[in-house]
Chain A
Amino acid sequence: MTEFDYLSVRAQFPVLMQTLNRGLRPTFLDSGASAQKPACVIAKEREVEEQYFANAYRGRYLFGARVDDELEAARQKVAVFLGASSPQQVAFVPGCTAGLNMVAFGWANKHIHPGDEILITLMEHHANFVPWQQVALERSANLRFIPMTDDGRLDLDRIDEVLTSRTKVISVCGMSNVLGTINPIAELAKIAHSSGAILVVDGAQSVPHMASRVQETDVDFLVFSGHKLYGPTGVGVLYGKADRLEALDPTVFGGHMIDRVWADRSTWATAPAKFEAGTLPIVQAIGLGAAVDWVNSVGLEAIHQHEQNLLAEATRRLSDFPGIRIFGPGLEHKGAILSFRFDDLHPEDLALMLDRKAVFTRHGHHCTMPLHDLLGVSATTRVSFGAYNGTDDIDALVGAIEFAREKLGVSGVQNK
């Protein structure tokens, strides 16, 4: 196997090639929150703005026609990237959070009734947690949680404890944004379907790091955001099986999503238009197509392997620090996320010190308060990897942690 050339990957990201104050280079380890964009994506956005911008699906003039073509090409790229059978199953939505809300409330409309059950997990990001919680409250349904093992995996041996004939939806993340846990999506789809439920996947963290294969895994809905896949902010994707999209009610109404409007009622366009009310994030959606091209040019599998190698290396080196607790399962069950906490070094202090060394990580509860309650800590530090990271970033991270420990004198302080 040839070595993954992360330096030439990084060279395509202008933001990472800067020299900061005091000659520091940015060590960006927060791709789990938002990835950086390669020059080709930025150029594509610029191309749209400078050469043919117009509203989409409205004006049949030169610019409008070009925008329509570019959008449909982007839709096609996303469909192929996800392994979907048709671009008509790909709706552009404002982001992953919006998409998950659309699925939760749109599905609840006709398919979730009082006494029904919704099954999620305690490792969900609030974006895949709170919408279902609110649906359950509104519809007098029960929100239940798939049991977890002590190391932060779903314990499917115990799924019978929570799966019932009233379970209508199972909604899980493809990969945990804190633990890094990769969930067994195909298995969950089988479980859901065997009890007449649908499987919804929050792909925010999984889609950028591993093949989604939506047909093979048989998921009913999958949602992800563009900006974690080296694309622009403000655009996400709602994928659904054709029949599921037909059964899903729209929750946002307006232009383009209708078939016919009368004074007293309306009928809807077919998917994906049904879920694309109003003016689309046109530039961003086309930019997302360019991001998919970019990922394909490097190779998703190659990126995955590289990131897993970084994860292994970082885990090994951080484990050498005394008093560190690394969260989540073993490497064979997790993706490119490493969350940890020191006994004697608060994430708040650590973040401040890492920032001084231009090592950019995230700290806090990462929009997973129920998970942090379970872990028994209020905050963790999270390192997340992208294609442009390398062993030099791990060196910088380790060096910055050493700097923080020295500065904060954690060994000789009376107050923890």
Chain B
Amino acid sequence: MTIQELLSEYEELVDWEEQCDYLIDIGRELPVFPEEFKTDSNIVHGCQSRVWLVAGLDQSHDHEFVRLQADSDAMIVRGLIAVLLAAYQNKTPQQVLDTDIEGLFERMGLNRHLSSSRRNGLHGMVERIRRYASEIVGAEGSQ
């Protein structure tokens, strides 16, 4: 699902109740996360629930895209992961860095509806993704 598809469905919904259910639904459909990746080094800190996130580079095309896999033991967090995956899918490291993710959260009302600890967890995931992307961009710049 692209972020445009996600947003057009999300913004059809009348209130946070429905949007919350929607996030849980798309969280259910996350791609399976390999059990062997559920290691301490892949845990994102700052989350109340456990979140694992693995970032890699997909170089099978003529572009190199950031490839993300993530999972959580909380369903609402899986829903937020689904949003992140949609926002960052098929993007180069530079495009990841250029993505206005805060604007997206604002547009979806997440800052309003999520508690501060959940927002911190979400930002923890974003930070980790951005750090990965900036390492790639930095390494390429120095070559």
Task: For B30, give the chain A residue with the smallest CB separation.
Answer: A415
Given the known interface contacts A407-B21, A407-B24, A408-B24, the answer about A349 and B48 at a Cβ–Cβ threshold of 8 Å is no
Residues of A close to B78: CB separation below 8 A:
415
Against A, the Cβ 8 Å flags (1 = close, 0 = not) of B112-139 are 0000011000000000000000000000
Residues of A close to B75: CB separation below 8 A:
346, 349, 408, 413
Q: In the assembly, what is the distance between CA of A363 and CA of B49, in Å?
A: 10
Residues of B close to A352: CB separation below 8 A:
20, 76
Q: Which applies to chain B's interface (DSSP): helix, strand, loop or mixed?
A: helix
Q: In the assembly, what is the distance between CA of A416 and CA of B49, in Å?
A: 12
Asked if A111 is at the interface (CB within 8 A of a chain B CB), the reply is: no
Asked if B73 is at the interface (CB within 8 A of a chain A CB), the reply is: yes
Q: In the assembly, what is the distance between CA of A348 and CA of B48, in Å?
A: 7
Residues of A close to B17: CB separation below 8 A:
356
- In this complex, the interface size class of chain B, counting residues with CB under 8 Å from chain A, is 10 to 19
Asked if A370 is at the interface (CB within 8 A of a chain B CB), the reply is: no
Instruction: Please tell me if the beta carbons of B24 and A348 are within 8 angstroms of each other in the complex.
Output: no
Residue ranges of A at the interface with B (Cβ–Cβ < 8 Å): 346-349, 352, 356, 363-364, 378-379, 407-408, 413, 415-416
Residues of A close to B50: CB separation below 8 A:
378
Asked if B66 is at the interface (CB within 8 A of a chain A CB), the reply is: no
Against A, the Cβ 8 Å flags (1 = close, 0 = not) of B8-52 are 000000000100110010001010000000000000000011100
Residue ranges of B at the interface with A (Cβ–Cβ < 8 Å): 17, 20-21, 24, 28, 30, 48-50, 71, 73-78, 117-118
Instruction: Please tell me if the beta carbons of A349 and B74 are within 8 angstroms of each other in the complex.
Output: yes
Most chain B beta-carbon contacts within 10 A, residue among A348, A349, A379, A416: A348
List 7 contacting pairs A-B, 8 Å CB cutoff, sorted by A. Answer: A346-B73, A347-B74, A352-B76, A356-B17, A378-B49, A408-B24, A415-B78
Task: For A348, give the chain B residue with the smallest CB separation.
Answer: B74
Given the known interface contacts A348-B76, A379-B48, A379-B49, the answer about A364 and B20 at a Cβ–Cβ threshold of 8 Å is no
How near does chain A come to B44, taking the closest CB pair, in angstroms? 13
Residues of B close to A415: CB separation below 8 A:
28, 30, 71, 78
Task: For A22, give the chain B residue with the smallest CB separation.
Answer: B17
Most chain A beta-carbon contacts within 10 A, residue among B21, B28, B48, B75: B75
Task: For A363, give the chain B residue with the smallest CB separation.
Answer: B48
Residues of A close to B28: CB separation below 8 A:
413, 415
Partner of B117, one of A364, A408, A416: A364
Most chain A beta-carbon contacts within 10 A, residue among B17, B73, B117, B118: B73
Task: For B77, give the chain A residue with the smallest CB separation.
Answer: A348
How near does chain A come to B19, taking the closest CB pair, in angstroms? 11
Residues of B close to A349: CB separation below 8 A:
24, 74-76
Instruction: Please tell me if the beta carbons of A346 and B24 are within 8 angstroms of each other in the complex.
Output: no
Q: In the assembly, what is the distance between CA of A225 and CA of B51, in Å?
A: 34
Residues of B close to A378: CB separation below 8 A:
49-50
Task: For A365, give the chain B residue with the smallest CB separation.
Answer: B48
Given contacts A348-B118, A356-B17, A378-B50, 16 further A-B contacts (CB under 8 A): A346-B74, A346-B75, A347-B48, A347-B49, A347-B74, A348-B76, A349-B74, A352-B20, A363-B48, A379-B49, A407-B21, A413-B28, A415-B28, A415-B30, A415-B78, A416-B73
Given the known interface contacts A364-B117, A416-B73, the answer about A348 and B49 at a Cβ–Cβ threshold of 8 Å is yes
Task: For B21, give the chain A residue with the smallest CB separation.
Answer: A407
How near does chain B come to A409, taking the closest CB pair, in angstroms? 8
Q: In the assembly, what is the distance between CA of A222 and CA of B69, in Å?
A: 50
Residues of B close to A408: CB separation below 8 A:
24, 75
Q: In the assembly, what is the distance between CA of A378 and CA of B24, in Å?
A: 21
Task: For A379, give the chain B residue with the smallest CB separation.
Answer: B48
How near does chain B come to A404, taking the closest CB pair, in angstroms? 10
